[in-house]
Structure 1
Amino acid sequence: MILCCGEALIDMIPAAAADGSICFAPCPGGAVFNTAIALGRLGVPCALATGLSSDLFGRKLLQALQASNVSTAPCAISPRPTTLAFVTLDKGEARYAFYDENTAGRMLAPQDLADPGPETAVLFFGGISLACEPAAEAYEALLQRARSNRLVMLDPNIRPGFITDETRYRARLQRMLALSDIVKLSMDDLDWLQPGGGALRGRLARIQAMGPAAVLLTTGAKGASALLPCGSFLHVPAAPAAVADTVGAGDSFNAGFLAALQDSGHLARPKVRALPPDAAQAALRFAAAAAAVTVSRSGANPPWRSELPG
């Protein structure tokens, strides 16, 4: 079982109304929510730990999770509103404006997140939930309590507009990086964490030195790379796709990578800490294929296992 820990929200996606005017269509989303949905569709047992609203948007999120075989048992339900993210597209790249004050997800407290049971072998953290207090503190506390001998993957998915106290946020990320086994970054994430540029491999090595055994980097149409525990540096090209938008692409990549590790028998901390290049290469390719399907469709709509090769 993989327990995904982080936000679930409604993406308001640009759409055309019947009269041709521009409107916004509500679609279930959120980085960690999307990763959980993608895992469920890929046939990986998973659950989501988050704060959900009892409002109509919260019910829509619950229904979407259940339809994709994601357990909602760890979710904390409250009457607070659902977070909304209005999406604008710039040449297919998604940009977000969040409405998150006093929401069910943001106001999550440590006592709202139960410790996972023995069936949970992997913890996944990430998204805006790591920047917004008090929920960010609740997720960090869960990681501290539940890490034990579990594999931990972290995708910070950094949104600078959400950060109100950069010092506190950087310190939180550093503590969580130190407890992670796999971290996945975009180029925007890497530039925020390691400003100033420099050789790519050296920059990833500095992230690796903070704690994670494997550091993954997605670069959109340029493909994806990985720095492994053995020091090997790998790169795979992006899978061909006609891009509708990039919403949820990185989240599907995360799920594809974890699903491929499960398929190859490497989804455990000791295995990842000694991850061989061939297994990592196969996982990167499968993750890129999952992301390619997602970008070919509007909004965060990850593929089912039957839509992917092998």
Structure 2
Amino acid sequence: MIICCGEALMDMIPVAQPDGRNAFVPHTGGAIFNTAVALGRLGVPVGMISGISRDAFGGQLAETLAANKVSTDLLVRSDLLTTLAIVHLVEGHATYAFYDEGSAGRMITVADMPVLPADTSALYFGGISLVSLPAADAYADLCATAAGKYPVMIDPNIRPSFITDAPAYRARLDRMLGQADIIKVSDEDLAWITGGAGSLEDQAALLQAKGARFVIVTRGSEGAMALCDGEVAHVAAERATVVDTVGAGDTFNAGVLGHLHREGRLSKAALRDMSAQDLAGALALGARVAAVTVSRAGANPPWAHEI
């Protein structure tokens, strides 16, 4: 079972009204939540660790996970409120404003972390759950504890406007990236982390030097690349009519993890024996499922029968 560790929240999506104004409609979301749902829809055994409220939105989040074949056994329930993400769309491109102070997701602690089940095969981290305390330290501690035994994939999915203490966030993220087997970043994330000097390959090499076996860089319509030991593999983006980009990267990550699971390569030993070219099939599935997601509104990843 792949364990997705991080935020589950409500995306408030703008919907045009007859009078020309926008109303915001709640949809289940969050980067880590979206990846968990996408994995479940692909038929991959998956569970989620997250702080979930007992309020109506928290109930909706838990129900959505279960309906999409994601185990809810590891959720940490509390009476705190659910995080809200106000989504702004400009020509289909999404930006976010988060309402997260004192939320069920943010206030999860090291002591709250459940014991990993015996059938755990890999852990996935990222998103805004790595930014704010105490949740960020709780996930960092889990990553440090588990990384020696299980493959770890991290997608920081950086939201600069949400980061209030950049030095502390950078230090925490740097430690976690050093424990990861697979690092996935967008080209924008990569520039934020490295400073943006040099080519994408040069920047990716800086990340791989921290210890990861693979660094994957996505470039929107330009496709994706994977770097391993100086070798680079490229995969083109799938053609799609873009409605919006909500959940595209999260779905891509599910495609990568799902392919590795399906091929029996989601172990630390198997990953060590793989080259960048060996990862091309995982990138291709990531591109394929992401293309479906961007072709319809919101984070709505495909089921296995759709691909």
Report the TM-score, using the length of structure 1 for normalisation.
Answer: 0.96
Corresponding residue number in structure 1 for 2:92? 92
After the TM superposition, which residues 98-247 of structure 1 pair with which residues of structure 2 at under 5 Å, given as runs? 98-228=98-228, 230-247=229-246
Cα displacement string for residues 259-293 of structure 1 (whole angstroms, at most 9, x for unaligned residues): 11112221111111221344311111110001000
Q: Quick one: distance in 2 between partners of 1:247 and 1:198?
A: 29
Q: Quick one: distance in 2 between partners of 1:27 and 1:196?
A: 34
Secondary structure of 2:266's counterpart equals coil
Secondary structure of 1:184's counterpart equals strand
Cα displacement string for residues 9-42 of structure 1 (whole angstroms, at most 9, x for unaligned residues): 0000111235553111100000000000000000
Corresponding residue number in structure 1 for 2:29? 29
Q: Quick one: distance in 2 between partners of 1:173 and 1:285?
A: 27
Please say if 1:59 is aligned against 2:40. Answer: no
Corresponding residue number in structure 1 for 2:289? 290
For residues 164 and 34 of structure 1, do their structure 2 counterparts lie closer, same or farther at Cα, with a shift above 3 Å needed?
same
Secondary structure of 2:286's counterpart equals helix
Q: Quick one: distance in 2 between partners of 1:190 and 1:164?
A: 19
Amino acid at match of 2:30: G
Corresponding residue number in structure 2 for 1:5? 5
Corresponding residue number in structure 1 for 2:269? 270
Moved over 4 A (4+): none
Q: Quick one: distance in 2 between partners of 1:196 and 1:287?
A: 25
Q: Quick one: distance in 1 between partners of 2:136 and 2:277?
A: 35
Displacement of 1:114: 1.2
Secondary structure of 1:276's counterpart equals coil
Q: Is the 8 A contact 2:153 2:180 kept in 1?
A: yes
Structure 2: gaps spanning 5 or more residues: none
Cα displacement string for residues 45-77 of structure 1 (whole angstroms, at most 9, x for unaligned residues): 000000001111111101110010000111111
Secondary structure of 2:26's counterpart equals strand
- Choose 144-153 or 200-209, whichever is displaced more: 144-153
Corresponding residue number in structure 2 for 1:50? 50
Secondary structure of 1:94's counterpart equals strand
Q: Quick one: distance in 1 between partners of 2:74 and 2:216?
A: 28
Structure 1: gaps spanning 5 or more residues: none
Identity %: 51
Amino acid at match of 1:55: D
Q: Quick one: distance in 2 between partners of 1:170 and 1:19?
A: 44
Displacement of 1:146: 2.3
Q: Is the 8 A contact 1:115 1:145 kept in 2?
A: no
Cα displacement string for residues 216-252 of structure 1 (whole angstroms, at most 9, x for unaligned residues): 0111111111102x43201111101100000000000
Amino acid at match of 1:105: G
- Choose 189-198 or 179-188, whichever is displaced more: 189-198
Corresponding residue number in structure 1 for 2:258? 259
For residues 18 and 65 of structure 1, do their structure 2 counterparts lie closer, same or farther at Cα, with a shift above 3 Å needed?
farther
Corresponding residue number in structure 2 for 1:78? 78
Aligned length: 307
Cα displacement string for residues 173-202 of structure 1 (whole angstroms, at most 9, x for unaligned residues): 111011100010011111110114311111
Q: Is the 8 A contact 2:4 2:125 kept in 1?
A: yes
Secondary structure of 2:80's counterpart equals coil
**Cα RMSD after superposing both structures:** 1.1
Amino acid at match of 1:53: S
Amino acid at match of 1:187: D
